[in-house]
Structure 1
Amino acid sequence: MNEVWEAIAAIGTVGAVITSVAFGVFEGFRARRDRRELISVRAATDAVAAAAGEAERIAVASLVTAWVTDEYAYVASASTYSRTVTLRIANESNEPVVNVTVGVYLGSENRLIGPLSTPSPIPVIPPRREFEWDITAGVGAYDDNTEPHVAISFTDARGRRWQRRLDGTLADPEELDTVRLAQDDPELAVAQIGVPDRYRNPMAVARAFAEELWADRSTFDLTAFRTLLDPLASGWSGNWDEERVDQLRELLQNYSNLAALTWYSAPRVAYARLLSDDTLQQITERRGGVLIEVYFITLVYRSELGWTVFGVGPKLRPDQILFPESDF
């Protein structure tokens, strides 16, 4: 009888072992399943956090945009249409953006023609604000001007630099567009200057002024040089002879490079820049924002003369320049 109970006990022991093994296998399976679920949950959580971090990172930048509007209005008195080209920048975020730089481009080759009448840089665009600038005069200095578009770079409140590209997409600093530089491409430099018409293009006058200024004395044309000077600028008054031109050459002897891009502070006031060789090398090496020393050629538009050179030296504001009513 004891043998029977022992056999039963043995069977019970084996059953316990089998149950224990089965339970262990089940527990192992459940533990592995739980680990997989935990890993999956963590991965999902990390993905959500990464997405939230990315959304937060671009939250301000994604709401900063720039575009150009090109509009025509019929003028009955002239029996034609007038054109107005306006550059607009909007910051729809709740934070300011700073150090905004602007580039206006023309054509399918994306030829940079400068900031034109927009400040460069724009110190700050406040939250929920939109600014606009009339760039009609600047665009009008080029024949192929039917497709003006804009790219901007700016810094958000966290110090991150961004670029809104020509196609409207947003780029990280590591993905910023490379801009062709005029000093690398002589054909581009000529294209950036615009048409050789002093009634449309202030750079045409600035270029003629620089070429005469640095011309060999055997080819220098004093009469042609005088026609470029603004008759209402007191600095050009009196008899401008070759001796006075030589004094101007001496003042500007280290600034014999004319930058290709024109700036405008008003529809009838524009600026070209004379750069030194050292400054030109500095720009070439840095390929970006850098403070440089320049001489400004201030140009003004006169109704009967077209663009003229008002002064050379510091940049003169429009309110520092006399404009008779006949100019408007």
Structure 2
Amino acid sequence: MDPGANWWEALSAIGTVLAVLVSVAVAIREVARARAAESALEDERRQRLAEQRRGIAALVTAWAESQYEPSPDGTHYVRRVIAHVANESTEPAFNLNVVLAYGSPLIQLGPLSIPVPIHVLPARQARSWDVSPGFAAHSTGVGQVPTDPIASISFEDSRGVAWTRGYDGKLQEGGGHQAISPDSETGEAQIGPLDSPFNPIAVVTAFHSALESATTVQDLKPLLSPTATGWSALTNEELVALRDEHAAYGLAAHVWYPTPRIAYVRLIHDDDIERARKGDSARALVVTLVFLVGKGWRVFSSGGAVTEPDWIKFPRKDLLRDLRG
């Protein structure tokens, strides 16, 4: 056997092994590069998608504006406050919750006339609501500079991602349904002045108190709407039952206005107040009120359900007159 041939074969084998190892190393490096490139591409895709989502969410907003208009008879000015919600993006927005506030420090008024929630707002659509009566309940009074309300909004995009735009206008991911605590530093101010004829809670407070001592429905008459004829048929036994029912409930801090001259005030069961503060379901009674020109808010009905606006009667042409008459 030729020793030179053996060395040559050994060197050839070693060369082959080295070539294989180099090929494997190159392949591993290329795989690593490919994975790194794929990871970078995926990161770029996620970032681009996040920017796209944020760009869409940035086009959903809520705001309020007010102006003074001459009354129909030309004797005074009427303040109109209109709340707007707009979706200028190319995708729908879902479960929109709007809370209005005013003043410094901010006093949260709730959604007022805005539905809770707005289940869907289609792409490139906007909606508006007259919240003037609700804002009138929080009038700053004589000698104080009136301030315009501002709005915050929470909503979900088409991918189910939650967004919140605060009172400062800044958008951030996360949030969801906006709960309002009546026990904040401005809790009493959220209720509004109880001596104002424009404040539904003032009337409900008086109604709640009058029930405790009323012996006949006539004792409640100054607080009742004359167009709610069902009250006149209330028997003394039914009055006692109504008083007992109300005794287990306390007041909520916010009012919802399905129309500018109809208000719903919820009474929360005493045992469920903590649940209500956390946003959980709670037992409630609803007092439905109507605004009558020259009289202010009056109780139309009270019970476990609201009276819908199209079932409520107003005095003739009352809805055609401004709030101050």
Is this a same-fold pair by TM over 0.5? yes
CA distance in structure 2 between the aligned counterparts of 1:315 and 1:136, rounded to whole angstroms: 21
CA distance in structure 2 between the aligned counterparts of 1:253 and 1:209, rounded to whole angstroms: 12
CA distance in structure 2 between the aligned counterparts of 1:190 and 1:222, rounded to whole angstroms: 30
Measured against aligned partners, the alpha-carbon deviations of 1:222-245 in whole angstroms (never above 9, x if no partner) come to 86633112222122114775x543
Q: Compared with structure 1, are the counterparts of its residues 299 and 146 closer, same or farther at alpha carbon in structure 2 (3 Å cutoff)?
A: same
In structure 1, what residue type is equivalent to 2:292? R
Which residue in 1 is equivalent to 2:313? 322
Note the residue ranges of structure 2 that are not aligned, 5 or more in a row: 1-25, 141-145, 320-325
Which residue in 1 is equivalent to 2:56? 60
Q: Shift in Å at residue 59 of structure 1? A: 3.2
Which residue in 2 is equivalent to 1:245? 239
- Of the three residues 296, 299, 305, the one matched with 1:309 is 299
Q: Compared with structure 1, are the counterparts of its residues 180 and 129 closer, same or farther at alpha carbon in structure 2 (3 Å cutoff)?
A: closer
Which residue in 2 is equivalent to 1:272? 265
- Whether the 8 Å contact between 2:137 and 2:192 is mirrored in structure 1 is yes
- Of the three residues 266, 275, 278, the one matched with 1:282 is 275
Measured against aligned partners, the alpha-carbon deviations of 1:89-147 in whole angstroms (never above 9, x if no partner) come to 11111211111111111112221111111111111111110100011111111123522
1:45-56 matches, within 5 Å, as: 48-56=44-52
In structure 2, what residue type is equivalent to 1:205? V
1:84-233 matches, within 5 Å, as: 84-144=80-140, 146-173=147-174, 181-182=181-182, 184-185=183-184, 188-197=186-195, 199-213=197-211, 215=212, 217=213, 225-233=220-228
CA distance in structure 2 between the aligned counterparts of 1:129 and 1:177, rounded to whole angstroms: 21
- Whether the 8 Å contact between 1:212 and 1:220 is mirrored in structure 2 is no
- Whether the 8 Å contact between 1:297 and 1:309 is mirrored in structure 2 is yes
Q: Shift in Å at residue 205 of structure 1? A: 0.3
What secondary structure sits across from 1:323 in the alignment? coil
Q: Compared with structure 1, are the counterparts of its residues 308 and 102 closer, same or farther at alpha carbon in structure 2 (3 Å cutoff)?
A: same
In structure 2, what residue type is equivalent to 1:324? P
Q: Compared with structure 1, are the counterparts of its residues 93 and 178 closer, same or farther at alpha carbon in structure 2 (3 Å cutoff)?
A: closer
- Whether the 8 Å contact between 1:198 and 1:306 is mirrored in structure 2 is no
- Output the TM-score relative to the length of structure 2: 0.76
What secondary structure sits across from 2:253 in the alignment? coil
- Whether the 8 Å contact between 1:103 and 1:112 is mirrored in structure 2 is yes
Which residue in 1 is equivalent to 2:289? 299
- Whether the 8 Å contact between 1:198 and 1:205 is mirrored in structure 2 is no
Which residue in 1 is equivalent to 2:323? none
Q: Shift in Å at residue 78 of structure 1? A: 2.2
Q: Compared with structure 1, are the counterparts of its residues 80 and 304 closer, same or farther at alpha carbon in structure 2 (3 Å cutoff)?
A: closer
CA distance in structure 2 between the aligned counterparts of 1:180 and 1:297, rounded to whole angstroms: 20
Q: Shift in Å at residue 198 of structure 1? A: 5.3
Which residue in 1 is equivalent to 2:5? none
CA distance in structure 2 between the aligned counterparts of 1:86 and 1:52, rounded to whole angstroms: 36
In structure 2, what residue type is equivalent to 1:125? L
- Whether the 8 Å contact between 2:84 and 2:129 is mirrored in structure 1 is yes
In structure 2, what residue type is equivalent to 1:327? D
In structure 2, what residue type is equivalent to 1:69? E
- Whether the 8 Å contact between 2:225 and 2:299 is mirrored in structure 1 is yes
Which residue in 2 is equivalent to 1:17? none
CA distance in structure 2 between the aligned counterparts of 1:128 and 1:221, rounded to whole angstroms: 55
In structure 1, what residue type is equivalent to 2:210? E
Measured against aligned partners, the alpha-carbon deviations of 1:265-284 in whole angstroms (never above 9, x if no partner) come to 11211110011133312123
What secondary structure sits across from 2:98 in the alignment? strand
CA distance in structure 1 between the aligned counterparts of 2:216 and 2:308, rounded to whole angstroms: 30
In structure 2, what residue type is equivalent to 1:319? D
Note the residue ranges of structure 1 that are not aligned, 5 or more in a row: 1-30
In structure 2, what residue type is equivalent to 1:231? P
Q: Shift in Å at residue 263 of structure 1? A: 0.7
CA distance in structure 1 between the aligned counterparts of 2:105 and 2:148, rounded to whole angstroms: 11
CA distance in structure 1 between the aligned counterparts of 2:118 and 2:273, rounded to whole angstroms: 23
